[in-house]
C-alpha cells in the first residue's frame, strides 16, 4: 500500500504545535491536577491526558484506519499492540515529573510506525522552542536545521545522559547508582534531563554523546530512535542486541 507520509507529517506537526501550546499554558500552574500511576513518583496530570486526547482525536479524525499506542491510554487499560497498520506511538508529556514541578524540560514525543518500522519521529519542547523532527531516510532536524550526532568515540571526553527512572524498586535503584558510580570517574560528565525523549534529542544534535536507561517504555523512545538514527547515531539493547 502507498501511504501519503507528507500528509501524515503535516497533519501531526500541526497537532503537536497545538499540544505544545497547551503544555506551555499549563506548566507554570501551581495547582495541577495530579494522579499516581504505579507509585508516588510515577505520575499523570490532566494535561497528559488532554494532550493525548488532542493528538489521538485529531489524527483519527483525518486517518480513521490508523492505530495508537499512547502512554496514558495503555495505563488506563488499552492494549499495547504493534501491527503492520500505521500506528502512532505517543508520549503526550515525556518528563511528566518536570512538568509537575514547572521545570522546563518536558516534551511531546510522537512517532509513526508503518509495517513496524518508524517513518516519522517528532519531539517538541515548547518551553525552550525545540522542535526535533525526522523522517525515515530524510535526516534529522532541530527547528528545521539539519543535526548530527557528535561522532565522539572515547568515553573520557563524553557527556553521558542517564535517568533515575520512575521505579521505587530498590534493586533497580541500586543498578542506577552502581552505573553512576562506575561511569562518573571515567567521563566528562553525567546528566539527567528527566525526559528520555529529550535525552535522546540531545544525543541526536551532538550536545551529548550517549544516553542509557534500563526499564524504558516504547513511547519514551519511539520518536527518539528515528531522530537519533537519522542524525547518524545508533540505538541498542543494553545486552548488546539490536
Ligand atoms: C519518563 C521520563 C523519565 C524516564 C522514565 C520515563 P514520563 O517518562 O522519560 O526521564 O526516566 O523512564 O518513564 O513518565 O515522564 O512520560
Q: Both 44 and 160 in a single domain?
A: no
Could you tell me the pLDDT band of residue 126, with boundaries at 50, 70 and 90? very high
Report pLDDT for 235.
95
Give the domain extent around 116.
5-146
CB distance 194 to ligand 1 below 6 Å: yes
State the CB neighbour count (10 A cutoff) for residue 201: 32
CB distance 52 to ligand 1 below 6 Å: no
Report pTM. 0.97
Residue 93 labelled as part of a binding site: yes
Atom index in ligand 1 nearest the CA of residue 215 equals 12
Number of structural domains (the chain) is 2
Cα 189 to ligand 1 centre (Å)? 21
The answer to whether position 129 is within a domain reads yes
CB distance 207 to ligand 1 below 6 Å: no
Q: Both 90 and 161 in a single domain?
A: no
Q: Both 164 and 109 in a single domain?
A: no
Q: What ipTM, to 2 d.p.?
A: 0.95
Tens-digit pLDDT profile for residues 69-94: 999 889 888 888 899 999 999 999 99
CB distance 95 to ligand 1 below 6 Å: yes
Beta strands in the chain (DSSP E): 34-36, 43-45, 67-70, 87-94, 107-114, 117-125, 130-135, 140-142, 145-146, 159-162, 189-191, 210-212
Catalytic status, residue 93: yes
Q: Identify the CATH number of the domain in which residue 31 sits.
A: 3.30.540.10
Q: Both 136 and 177 in a single domain?
A: no
Q: Both 107 and 12 in a single domain?
A: yes
The answer to whether position 14 is within a domain reads yes
Q: Both 11 and 99 in a single domain?
A: yes
Amino acid at each position: 500500500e502507498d501511504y501519503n507520509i507528507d500528509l501524515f507529517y503535516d497533519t501531526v506537526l500541526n497537532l503537536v504545535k497545538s499540544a505544545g501550546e497547551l503544555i506551555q499554558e499549563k506548566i507554570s500552574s501551581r495547582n495541577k491536577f495530579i494522579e499516581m500511576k504505579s507509585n508516588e513518583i510515577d505520575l499523570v496530570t490532566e494535561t497528559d491526558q488532554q494532550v493525548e486526547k488532542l493528538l489521538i482525536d485529531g489524527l483519527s479524525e483525518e486517518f480513521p484506519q490508523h492505530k495508537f499506542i499512547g502512554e496514558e491510554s495503555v495505563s488506563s487499560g488499552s492494549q499495547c499492540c504493534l501491527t503492520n497498520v500505521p500506528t502512532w506511538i505517543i508520549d503526550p508529556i515525556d518528563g511528566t515529573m518536570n512538568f509537575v514541578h514547572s521545570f522546563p524540560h518536558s516534551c511531546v514525543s510522537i512517532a509513526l510506525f508503518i509495517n513496524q518500522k518508524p517513518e516519522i519521529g517528532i519531539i517538541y519542547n515548547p518551553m525552550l522552542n525545540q522542535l526535533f523532527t525526522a523522517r525515515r531516510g530524510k535526516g534529522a532536524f532541530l527547528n528545521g536545521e539539519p543535526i548530527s550526532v557528535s561522532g565522539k568515540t572515547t568515553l573520557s571526553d563524553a557527556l553521558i545522559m542517564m535517568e533515575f527512572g520512575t521505579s521505587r524498586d530498590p534493586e533497580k535503584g541500586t543498578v542506577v547508582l552502581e552505573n553512576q558510580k562506575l561511569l562518573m570517574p571515567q567521563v566528562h560528565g553525567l546528566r539527567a534531563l528527566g525526559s528520555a525523549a529529550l535525552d535522546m534529542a540531545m544525543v541526536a544534535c551532538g550536545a551529548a554523546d550517549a544516553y542509557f536507561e534500563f526499564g524504558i517504555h516504547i513511547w519514551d523512545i519511539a520518536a527518539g530512535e528515528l531522530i537519533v538514527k537519522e542524525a547518524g547515531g545508533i540505538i541498542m539493547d543494553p545486552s548488546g542486541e539490536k
